[in-house]
Amino acid sequence: MTEPTKPQTVDEALRQFTDMMAADGYVLSWEPSDPQRIVVRIDATEGACADCLVPANVMEAIMAKALEPTPYALDHVILPADAAH
């Protein structure tokens, strides 16, 4: 008998993006908006690569896909106020 696949934690699911964002000068964090949904927040640090962020709709699609192995769905993504997209 095989065991069911253990759901990933949100941190595990977003780790590659957290690392990628950090390399471009951004901090990725998240918080629950309700028991089944989370909000992903991306904040710029000094010297962040302004051209490295994808448009909000693309970022939301990426984050929603990344969260599929978790018990959570994406509520929305908050990008830096000065993001060009």
The answer to whether residues 28 and 40 touch, using CB atoms and an 8 Å cutoff, is yes
Residue 16 lies in a domain: yes
Residue 71 DSSP symbol:
S
The answer to whether residues 17 and 63 touch, using CB atoms and an 8 Å cutoff, is yes
Mean pLDDT over 53-63 rounds to: 96
Asked if pLDDT for residue 2 goes beyond 50, the answer is no
pTM of the model: 0.86
What are residue 34's DSSP bridge partners? 37
pLDDT band at 8 (very low <50, low <70, confident <90, very high): confident
Residue 53 lies in a domain: yes
Return the structure tokens found at 24: 């471009």
Number of domains, the chain: 1
Mean pLDDT over 25-45 rounds to: 96
By residue range, what is the domain housing residue 17?
A: 10-78
Q: Return the CATH number at 57.
A: 3.30.300.130
d(CA 18, CA 24): 10
d(CA 37, CA 49): 29
Residue 4 lies in a domain: no
Residue 1 lies in a domain: no
